[in-house]
Amino acid sequence: QSVLTQPPSVSAAPGEKVTISCSGSSSNVENHFVSWYQQLPGTAPRLLIYEDNKRTSGIPERFSASKSATSATLVISGLQTGDEADYYCGTWDYSLSVVVFGGGTKLTVL
């Protein structure tokens, strides 16, 4: 059971928009910056977003993120088949003194 809760799966058609939520608590998401990672099949995770909403170099504007209280959200617009991957959120948890990740969300582009 992951400390951060993500939906196991989401799906949408090419060109549409999808949102992936990451729910935590005051000991993690609410008081620490969240990062987001994309893991394409058979590859290592790749940093997409850091400091809640900053895109890392080379990540298109189609990827955006936000945070409100204990919940963070990743939004992918203009979906492409190449976006099919697992997406993870991560942050620090000060009560556990450990970096925590969500369980991951599998994105299917129909």
Partner 1 sequence: QVQLQQEPGPGLVKPSQTLSVTCTVSGGSIRSGSWYWSWIRQRPGKGLEWIGYIYSSGTASYNPSLKTRVSISADTTKNQFSLRLTSVTAADTAMYFCARENRDSGIIWFDPWGQGTLVTVSS
Contact footprint for partner 1 (CB under 8 A): 2, 32-33, 35, 37, 43-47, 50-51, 56, 88, 90-92, 96-104
Burial 28-40 (b: 16+ CB within 10 A, else e): bbbebbbbbbbee
Sequential DSSP letters for 6-65: --SEEEE-TT--EEEEEE--TTTGGGS--EEEEE-TTS--EEEEETTTEEPTT--TTEEE
**Considering the complex, what minimum distance in angstroms separates the CB of residue 43 from partner 1?**
8
> DSSP label at 19?
E
Q: Which is nearer to partner 1, 13 or 41 (CB)?
A: 41
**Considering the complex, what minimum distance in angstroms separates the CB of residue 82 from partner 1?**
19
Q: Which is nearer to partner 1, 13 or 44 (CB)?
A: 44
Q: Which is nearer to partner 1, 16 or 43 (CB)?
A: 43
**Considering the complex, what minimum distance in angstroms separates the CB of residue 80 from partner 1?**
22
